[in-house]
Amino acid sequence: MKIIITGATGLIGRSLCEKLTNRGEEVTVFTRNIEGAKKSLPPIKNFVEWNYRNPAKWQNEINETDAVIHLTGANLFGKRWDDSYKRKILESREISTRNLVSAIKKAEKKPSIFICSSAVGIYGNQGDQLLTEESATGNDFLARVCKTWEEEAAKVEDANVRRVSIRTGIVLSTKDGALKQMLLPFKLFVGGPLGNGKQWFPWIHIDDLIRAYIFSLDYPKINGAVNGVSPNPVRMNEFSKTLGEVLHRPSFFKVPASVLKIIVGEFADSITASLRAVPEKLVQNNYNFKFVKLEAALKDLLQ
The CATH number that applies at residue 223 is: 3.40.50.720
The predicted pLDDT at position 263 comes to: 65
Decide: 253 and 190 in contact? Cβ < 8 Å.
Answer: yes
Helix axes 11-22, 206-218, angle to 10 degrees: 60
Secondary structure letter of residue 120 according to DSSP: G
Looking at the structure of the chain, the number of domains it has is 1
The predicted pLDDT at position 267 comes to: 72
Decide: 264 and 194 in contact? Cβ < 8 Å.
Answer: no
| Residue 288 lies inside a defined structural domain of this protein | no
- Asked if the model's pLDDT at residue 256 lies above 90, the reply is no
Q: Stretch 116-122: mean pLDDT, rounded? A: 97
Secondary structure letter of residue 137 according to DSSP: P
| Residue 51 lies inside a defined structural domain of this protein | yes
Decide: 218 and 270 in contact? Cβ < 8 Å.
Answer: no
- Asked if the model's pLDDT at residue 164 lies above 90, the reply is yes
The predicted pLDDT at position 300 comes to: 98
Most confident of 72-86, 181-195, 287-301: 287-301
| Residue 265 lies inside a defined structural domain of this protein | no
Confidence band for 264, pLDDT divided at 50, 70 and 90: low
| Residue 177 lies inside a defined structural domain of this protein | no
| Residue 81 lies inside a defined structural domain of this protein | yes
CA dist., res. 267 & res. 273, Å (int):
10
Beta-ladder partners of 31? 49
The predicted-structure confidence for 36-89, as pLDDT tens digits, reads as follows 999 999 989 999 999 999 999 999 999 999 999 999 999 887 788 889 999 999
Range of the domain at 28: 2-172+204-230
CA dist., res. 133 & res. 152, Å (int):
17
The predicted pLDDT at position 260 comes to: 72
| Residue 284 lies inside a defined structural domain of this protein | no
Q: What is the mean pLDDT of the chain?
A: 94
* CA dihedral sign, ordered 169, 175, 176, 178: positive
Return the percentage of the chain with pLDDT > 70, whole number. 99
pTM of the complete model = 0.95
| Residue 299 lies inside a defined structural domain of this protein | no
Secondary structure letter of residue 110 according to DSSP: -
Q: Angle at CA 266, nearest 5°, toward 79 and 194?
A: 90
- Asked if the model's pLDDT at residue 217 lies above 90, the reply is yes
| Residue 279 lies inside a defined structural domain of this protein | no
* CA dihedral sign, ordered 253, 257, 259, 260: positive
The predicted pLDDT at position 280 comes to: 98
Which of 30, 301, 21 lies closest to 172, judged by CA?
301
The predicted pLDDT at position 262 comes to: 63
The predicted-structure confidence for 129-161, as pLDDT tens digits, reads as follows 999 999 999 999 999 999 999 999 999 999 999
